[in-house]
Amino acid sequence: MSDVRTGTVTTRVPARLDRLPWSRWHWMIIIGLGTVWILDGLEVTIIGNLSAQLAKDGSGLEITQTQVAGTAAALYVAGACLGALFFGWLTDRFGRKKLFIITMIVYLVATAATALSFSAWWFFLFRFLTGFGIGGEYAAINSAIDELIPSRHRGRIDIIINGSYWLGAAGGALLTVPLLNNFAVNVGWRIAFGLGVVLGLGILIVRRHVPESPRWLFIHGRDREAEELVDGIEEEVEREKGVRLEEPPQSMTIHQRRSIGFGQIAHTMVARYPKRTILGFSLFIGQAFLYNAITFGYAQILSTFFKIDTSTGYFFAVIAVGNFLGPLLLGRLFDTVGRVPMISGTYIGSGVLLLGTAWLFNQGVLTAVTLTACWCVVLFFASAGASAAYLTVSEIFPMETRAMAIAFFYAIGTFVGGIAGPLVFANLVESGRPGDTALAFSIGAILMIAAGLVEMFLGVKAEGKSLEDIAEPLSAAST
């Protein structure tokens, strides 16, 4: 589609948003938008820890554990990739708010249908559609959060929000234990998916009060609405803080447009910012292999090598806590020490630690407890780095292509690491040979280290900078 332009406007909206003090309004944004990662963590962890239960006789599904950890996981990721691309394009065209409502509804319907599965094909179909909704969430939500959070807080907040995935993972892991032990084999897993629907409905209610991105509004010919929205936000913050906000001096002039074509999006990413495009690919492929390719099958590893099938949730909950503590404790350093040293350090550090874990596992010296401890340490660093991958691609491309850029890198990286990974690594684990599983660990580790090295050379120093200073909008008028 070709560009459709409207008029020209000079605005201070970005500067006004960036200079806001932290307030209850920002907490509302985090609760309404950021909590979706808890849902994704819940989804992935539930399916991973229920894989052995779903494969049992009487579960209501004729399905094997390898199909759950491999085929179903790959279909979920495939849906997420396609959903990110489809909804990412719609998010840049029709706005953030419409899409983060629609994608949540898609998730809710698909998850409810998953709980009602009566055959393998139905289960596979709605795992795909659940992923389709979640993938769309990544594009719409990351765009909105970065455009609404002040620049001095953006790194820490974005990383912690992305890391909150692991709160859902911990909750999902712990929930599966009583559901597997206290309910019939054909009931517990259905309740687990039903709980995801309940949580999603609560998020949807809060989300209705989250506004459209003022940055998106003024570029798309709705500058009056953007100004009125920011006026209301400032009045709310001034009442809470008891201060009078000064008008910032910075302004920018924009050639407004209704839409932007795929041709210009591709040109922006490939011709205008080729190094940033390579960086995005590297970060996403590295973290996707580490997480989607290996943690999807963690319950299968415990079942295959340590004969643990009904209490895997306890072990995974420990890993999930380590994953969340990484972004929580390291997040502020991405704004203070800087993006490049922190991203490269967390990627390379986690990769080296994972290689050590692979060697110990192959030597047969690890138990279920010590393997979990090793993973907890590895993922403390890997989680902060992986969260920063989403932060990076949402910062380093122009406003008009932000959601599509997030969707593009998420889809490509996750397709490579998240579809090929579960299919290949589930079979490696199924062989029962420690060397095959160690090989799976090593592949993820090497790709994480390689991505960290790319960050060292191509990383962007975005800490504390306005989004418009990091990547000038395509619609910006020449000065």
pLDDT for 22 beyond 90 = yes
Q: Which fold has domain 15-211+264-469?
A: Growth Hormone; Chain: A; (1.20.1250)
**Contact indicator for 258, 221 with CB cutoff of 8 Å:** yes
Least trusted range by pLDDT, from 121-130, 303-312, 390-399:
303-312
**Contact indicator for 311, 177 with CB cutoff of 8 Å:** yes
The pLDDT of residue 356: 95
pLDDT band at 452 (very low <50, low <70, confident <90, very high): very high
Of the candidates 96, 98, 108, the one whose C-alpha atom is nearest the C-alpha of residue 148 is: 96
| Average pLDDT estimate for 426-454 | 85
pLDDT for 27 beyond 50 = yes
Calculate the average pLDDT of the chain: 85
Give me 470's structure tokens.
């990091």
Give me 420's structure tokens.
């090929």
Q: Tell me: the pLDDT tens digits for 340-379?
A: 999 999 999 999 999 999 999 999 899 988 998 998 999 9
Compute how many other C-beta atoms are within 10 angstroms of the C-beta atom of residue 78.
20
| Helix or strand holding residue 258 (H, E) | strand 252-259
Percent of the chain whose pLDDT exceeds 90: 36
**Contact indicator for 235, 67 with CB cutoff of 8 Å:** no
The pLDDT of residue 419: 66
| Average pLDDT estimate for 285-310 | 75
Domain boundaries of the chain, sorted by first residue: 15-211+264-469
**Contact indicator for 151, 229 with CB cutoff of 8 Å:** no
State how far the Cα of 107 lies from the Cα of 419, in Å rounded to an integer: 20
pLDDT band at 1 (very low <50, low <70, confident <90, very high): very low
The pLDDT of residue 101: 87
pLDDT for 211 beyond 50 = yes
pLDDT for 287 beyond 80 = yes
pLDDT for 111 beyond 80 = yes
Indicate the length of the chain as a whole number: 479
The pLDDT of residue 2: 43
Tell how far CA 413 is from the center of its chain: 12
Q: Of 60-69, 215-224, 254-263, which one has max mean pLDDT?
A: 215-224
3-state secondary structure at position 454? helix
Burial class (CB within 10 angstroms; exposed 0-12, middle 13-18, buried 19+) of 332: middle
State how far the Cα of 260 lies from the Cα of 264, in Å rounded to an integer: 7
State how far the Cα of 185 lies from the Cα of 59, in Å rounded to an integer: 5
**Contact indicator for 292, 76 with CB cutoff of 8 Å:** no
Higher pLDDT pick, 35 / 381: 381
Q: What is the maximal distance between C-alpha atoms in the chain? A: 70
**Contact indicator for 406, 139 with CB cutoff of 8 Å:** yes
Residue 470, CA atoms < 13 Å, CB-side half-sphere: 26
**Contact indicator for 1, 259 with CB cutoff of 8 Å:** yes
The pLDDT of residue 260: 67
| Helix or strand holding residue 7 (H, E) | strand 4-11
pLDDT for 238 beyond 50 = yes
The pLDDT of residue 191: 87
Percent of the chain whose pLDDT exceeds 70: 92
**Contact indicator for 145, 378 with CB cutoff of 8 Å:** no
Q: Tell me: the pLDDT tens digits for 28-74?
A: 888 888 777 787 777 767 766 677 778 888 888 888 877 887 788 77
pLDDT for 240 beyond 60 = yes
